[in-house]
A and B are shown apart, each in its own frame.
Chain A
Amino acid sequence: MLSAGNDIVSFAEIDPVRTNQAAFYKKILTDWEVLQYQKLADTIAAFEVYVWLLWSVKEAAFKFLRRLNSQIVFSPSKFIVGDIKSLEISAFKSLGFDETKNALNKTTWHGHITVDKTELMYFSVIGVDYVHSIIHQVHNSGESYAGVKHITDTSAQNQSSEVRKLCLDQLRQLMPGIQFNINKSEQGVPFIYNIDEKVTHPVSFSHHGHFVAYSFVI
């Protein structure tokens, strides 16, 4: 399964009071996931951060699977986060998480998410202002890379151009001299095209407020 999926949530854009209301979080979390928070309350201090961590994992999984099955429906209660473990930030650097170059005030997490009978592995970074999650399949033939950027202009057009520029900048660092562009399939799914070698790579973009983010496999 070669695919990519990521999601970012900006804490400035969420309503913490509403997130803590059962009517709201029960639309996102299963009862079991709500109970799991008790084990993490010492390390993820705010419940609303936990809710949006799981949302970002579920949304990233949805994007990952939609590339493989365009008929899939995003139903948060059916995307089950099985485990949430703290992870050394050094592990993320080896994954190509560009945002972990500055590890200050960030915590890193990983675990598994199950959708129907498919189990995927996720990695998440919780910063002061955002949570960013990617799906990374260890059986993939490629390596995952991801990045986050704070932007000033939050228009949809600027979010789109900034995240593509950020992604292309990392590609140029990884493979100097190779020409890439970013296109969309007929189904609207983005992909990276290596012009020189005529091969494509899956890429996922996300944005929320003043943050844009990507992940790709290459």
Chain B
Amino acid sequence: MTREEILNELKKVIAPYTTNKEMLAGIDDNTDLIKDLKINSANLVDIIIDAEAKYDIEIDYDSADKMVNVGNCVDVINEKLKEK
């Protein structure tokens, strides 16, 4: 998958957890999940679990720690897909 394809799918994973739907449509690598998308930190684990299920990957602790903005999320998913 290209980064763009991962990003488009990632929007669907994030959608249930953000109240900022307008910003979701225009997210880029620098978009912060908590500050910009107003995602409650308690939902970050949900996003990781949903991403694991969607891409059939396993996201370890160290990788999960990096997933604070959209660019980092795409990088981690891309890396795990290549490891499959």
Contacts and interface: CB of A to CB of B under 8 A. Distances in A.
Interface of A: 7, 9, 13-15, 18, 23-24, 27-28, 52, 55, 59, 73-75, 77-78, 155-156, 188, 207-208
B45 A208 contact: no
Contact of A208 (B40, B46, B52): B40
B45 A75 contact: no
B65 A75 contact: yes
Of listed B19, B41, B52, B61, residue having the most chain A CB within 10 A: B41
A23 B65 contact: no
Nearest to B35: A188
A211 to B, nearest CB: 11
Nearest to A10: B42
A78 B61 CA distance: 9
Nearest to B20: A156
22 contacts: A13-B40, A13-B42, A23-B52, A24-B45, A24-B49, A27-B45, A27-B49, A28-B45, A52-B42, A55-B42, A59-B41, A74-B41, A74-B65, A75-B61, A75-B62, A75-B64, A75-B65, A155-B19, A156-B19, A188-B35, A207-B40, A208-B40
A interface SS class = mixed
Contacts of A207: 40
A23 B49 contact: yes
Interface in B29-63: 35, 38, 40-42, 45-46, 48-49, 52, 61-62
A128 to B, nearest CB: 18
B49 to A, nearest CB: 6
Contacts of B35: 188
A121 to B, nearest CB: 22
A27 B62 CA distance: 11
Of listed B19, B45, B48, B61, residue having the most chain A CB within 10 A: B45
Interface in B9-24: 19-20
Nearest to B45: A27
Contacts of A28: 45
A181 B41 CA distance: 26
